[in-house]
Amino acid sequence: MAKMRTVEILVGAFMAAGFVALFFLAMKVSNLSAASNGDGYALSARFDNIGSLKVRSPVSMAGVRVGRVEAIRYDQDSYQAVVTLRIDPRFDRIPADTFANIFTAGLLGEQYIGLDPGGSPDYLADGDQIEHTQSALVLEQMIGQFLFSKAEEGSE
């Protein structure tokens, strides 16, 4: 009887550890564990199309995560999406003529912002705007353009 009780306690402890591990895995996958605590400085960038970019998406430079997307809003005057980036304070030497591009991780993966540094001797500071941007490539639009061009070729 005591041996059965010990086995039940061990199985319960094993199950609890499994649930804790699943919780931490879910937090890691959803980027909630790395939520911004307000450190760093904010930059903004305007895009014609952000695709499926989301708040807390990574911002990377040369493949290294340098920040996160902090906010996304729509500007009704310019008809553009305004994305606010929160850059970690240790990356304080980003050239002023940097390009911001929206990329997709893998073929159908999540979208992120990639920064390509320019050659300016001046650096971006808190509140600055990245002037040079490239919108997201939407897979459906690319397929539509390809099919339309093939249909035009066939009609000639």
| Contact present, 117 and 98 (Cβ < 8 Å) | yes
CA 102 – CA 52 distance, rounded (Å): 10
Q: Which amino acid would we find at residue 58?
A: P
The answer for residues whose C-beta is within 8 angstroms of residue 60's C-beta and 6 or more apart is: 66, 112, 113, 114, 115
Q: Above 70 in pLDDT, residue 3?
A: yes
Position with higher pLDDT, 107 vs 104:
104
CA 116 – CA 96 distance, rounded (Å): 11
Q: Above 70 in pLDDT, residue 33?
A: no
Residues 63-80: what's their mean pLDDT?
94
CA 21 – CA 8 distance, rounded (Å): 20
* Residue 113 Cα distances to 41, 68, 117, angstroms: 16, 9, 13
pLDDT band per the 50, 70, 90 thresholds, residue 35: very low
When mean pLDDT is compared across 13-22, 79-88, 136-145, the lowest value belongs to 136-145
pLDDT band per the 50, 70, 90 thresholds, residue 147: confident
- Report yes or no on whether pTM surpasses 0.75: no
Structure tokens at 48: 């014609």
